[in-house]
Amino acid sequence: MIQLYYKGATADVVGAHGLSEADFNQVGQKVAHAHQAVCDQIAAGKLGYADLPNRKTYRDRVGQLVAKYKAKTTDLVVLGIGGSALGNIALQTALKPVTYNLIDDAQRGGPRLFVLDNVDPCLVSDTLDLLGSRLGSTVFNVISKSGETAETASQFMIVREMLRAKLGKDFARHIVATTDEKKGTLHDIAKADGYDTMPVPEDVGGRFSVLSPVGLFSAAMCGIDTDKLLAGAAAMLKQLEPHDWRKNPGTMLAAITWLMFNKGKPIQVMMPYSNRLYGLADWYRQLWAESLGKAKDRAGKDAFVGPTPIKALGTTDQHSQAQLYREGPNDKLVIFLEAATHPRELTVPDVFGDVAGLSYLRGTKLSALLQAEKVATEYALAVSQRPTVTIRFDAIDEESVGAFIMYYEFVTSVAGELFNINAYDQPAVELGKQATFALIGRKGYEKMAADIQPFAKPDEKYVLR
């Protein structure tokens, strides 16, 4: 499914900027304890994401609604943000063609998929306009545990009223709500209006929820084999069970992450050499940033930890970022994603044999060129003493993608133990949400609205025209 190759992060390759046997030996006991702590939490049922591959009730509910809606749905629109959108996008871009929405309805194998993960008025308006006469065969999947997330709630309110105006009393048949099973604003509206519903797991945070109905419904509607996706995740979790941490790909990557952070490399660049894997880099950024970026440790002491995750795309960003990565501050760990095989292949034709600058490309497979570009970048970074690791996919398929998701969620848990922080909350996100409520005029936030006023109106002293 997937493999970790970490030689490029060692002192043998990048000298003092890499990790030595002494580094690994020094951290060994700490990593072993962190690994055991995570495994104990999983065994005790405290980490809900690890149990998602086994939750048959979720799979059954998703299957019921896919059977009900898929055949008569031409367009599926997901209303969500953050963990309620990035995973959906990652699955779709990894496992379906980039031209999926352009394929003829009869040939596509599922509805067109649109994920509205922002309140940009152009994004929302343009998408709704595009649906046009297909509105009667469109399903909107609104995903929100509470129903009060401002971005998703505003989209939902717009869509609900549009459906009511254009489709009348049948509007509710075009909304599926993924929300809390027992309570909450969206739960109550769904019950009153009569929407079909799916559960947002109570014990799984949004950024860990892609293997729940949050991500599985849109995937299954579009023809992704979700059973294989979950099987890949389950197989990976088995692989990550307790054994020698030096031979475990999860604990090794967590250890490298922690060591590099403490070695003056607080930035981690995920660089897939595949457009299909690029969405996974977006998903990873939220998982890593919200989970590990914390001001306080578990004892309440100042910590201010967290590797900064950024994304790049090979080969595209060899031409836009590699200059910085090789000659700028040596403060980064580059994490390559590569695939042993790709879903499609093309070969450069045997032409221009008499053109010295092009003849070497004749008969080259694009996958071979892409891999050569990756190895060349890895080599160039090593020459500049810039550490790298590689996560290799045997293939870009459901099993490998499911394995990658479970792999990185587990690595995040182990890294949280190493940093001694709570990897499952996101307290710094709340102030921004509350400030949005205040600025838009929600009751109960009047004092905050007054406090924000110096920020809401530009100070002319600092405006240049």
Helix axis angle for 427-440 and 446-456, nearest 10°, is: 90
Q: How far apart are CA 31 and CA 28, in angstroms?
A: 5
User: CA 235 from chain center: how many Å?
Assistant: 20
Q: How many CB atoms lie within 10 A of CB 369?
A: 14
**Closest among 181, 153, 223, 201 to 48, alpha carbons compared:** 201
Cis before residue 149, ω within 30 degrees of 0?
Answer: no
How far the first Cα of the chain sits from its last, in Å, is 56
Active-site residue 161, yes or no? no
The DSSP 8-state label assigned to residue 212 in this structure reads S
Exposure letters 98-130 (e unless 16+ CB within 10 A, then b): eebbeeeeeebebbbbbbbbeeeeeebeeebee
Give dist(CA 455, CA 436) in Å, integer: 12
Look-up: residue for tokens 């947002």?
Answer: 200
Given the residues 290, 338, 398, 417, the one annotated as active site: 290
Close Cβ partners of 157 (under 8 Å, ≥ 6 residues apart): none
Please tell me what DSSP assigns to residue 462: G
Question: Are 142 and 197 spatial neighbours (Cβ–Cβ below 8 Å)?
Answer: no
Is there a catalytic annotation at residue 166? no
Contact indicator for 270, 295 with CB cutoff of 8 Å = no
DSSP 12-24: HHHGGGSB-HHHH
Q: How far apart are CA 104 and CA 117, in angstroms?
A: 25
Select which of 319, 447, 457, 461 is catalytic: 319
Euclidean distance between CA atoms 48 and 41, whole angstroms:
10
Other C-beta atoms within 10 Å of 256: how many? 28
- Asked if 433 is an active-site residue, the reply is yes
Question: Using CA atoms, how far apart are residues 341 and 343, in angstroms rounded to an integer?
Answer: 7
* Greatest pairwise CA separation for the chain in angstroms: 75
> Which residue in 33, 183, 243, 433 is the catalytic one?
433
Q: What is the set of active-site residues? A: 290, 319, 433
